[in-house]
Amino acid sequence: MNFYGTEISSPLLMGTAQYPSPAVLVDAIKGSRTEIITVSLRRETASGQGDGFWNIVKSLGCHILPNTAGCHSAQEAITTAQMARDIFGTNWIKLEVIGHADSLQPDVFGLIEAAGVLAADGFQVFPYTTDDLIVGEKLVAAGCEILMPWGAPIGSGQGLRCPDALRAMRGHFPDIPLIIDAGIGRPSHAMQAMEWG
């Protein structure tokens, strides 16, 4: 697979949240042989709490995919993406613009707006989106070379809730890497997505 000019051999991306300890995080990521891990940003305290996590992440030798989790407007996501690039030194950004506080459903209108601004600013955008084909087309037109459709709402663990829609995306965007971004609750869910290509 080719993500914005970077060859990736593992189809599995790993998050870095909700591990019981830093040691388990390291073991899980190394054991998975993933090449890409996602990270986030938080408000820092003067004690430098983010340093320990950042040192662990750097030691893993993976590509870093920062996200804009928690952003509820295009402008907020743009600013957070710029801050992420300043810290992580990568143009990759997993763009999230949240439209609904409970379901964390993406605001696809803000997403398209932010994707266009960021792509024009040199970012390589991985947009967290729905399985809507027209939204996908507009994201590609905005400069996205990858789409990240949801399998189900973030954190729900429901798996690939709309298989027909995801298969339609695969057929509609034959040359665009599709990464299922949310709703994966079991290893079998991930396997199912990978079987579809």
Binding flag, residue 195, other proteins (CB under 8 A): no
Closest CA to 129 of 102, 166, 156, 164: 166
Phi-psi region at 143: left, alpha or beta (left = phi > 0; alpha = psi -120 to 50): left
Secondary structure (DSSP) of 171-194: HH-TTS-B---S---SHHHHHHHH
Binding flag, residue 69, other proteins (CB under 8 A): yes
* Spatial separation of the C-alpha atoms in residues 95 and 113, rounded to whole Å: 11
Question: Are the CB atoms for 142 and 112 separated by under 8 Å?
Answer: yes
Binding flag, residue 105, other proteins (CB under 8 A): no
* Spatial separation of the C-alpha atoms in residues 15 and 50, rounded to whole Å: 16
Instruction: For the CB of residue 162, give the shortest distance to other proteins in the complex, in Å.
Output: 20
Active site residue 94: yes
Pick the piece of the chain touching other proteins (CB under 8 A) from 63-71, 103-111, 112-120, 140-148. Answer: 63-71
Helix axes 163-172, 133-141, angle to 10 degrees: 40
- How is residue 31 written in tokens? 């054991």
How far is residue 40 from each of residues 65, 66, 88, 163, measured CA to CA in Å? 9, 5, 10, 29
Kindly tell me which of 50 and 143 has the beta carbon lying closer to other proteins.
50
Instruction: For the CB of residue 94, give the shortest distance to other proteins in the complex, in Å.
Output: 9
Q: Which of 11, 12, 19, 192 binds other proteins (CB under 8 A)?
A: 19
Q: Which of 41, 71, 146, 179 binds other proteins (CB under 8 A)?
A: 41
- Binding residues for other proteins, rule CB under 8 A, total 36
Catalytic-labelled residue, pool 30, 58, 94, 138: 94
Binding flag, residue 42, other proteins (CB under 8 A): yes
Q: 132 to 191, contacts with other proteins by CB under 8 A?
A: 154
> What is the binding site for other proteins (CB under 8 A)?
15-19, 25, 38-44, 46-51, 53-54, 57, 66-67, 69, 75-76, 79-80, 82-84, 86-88, 154
> Annotated active-site positions, please?
94
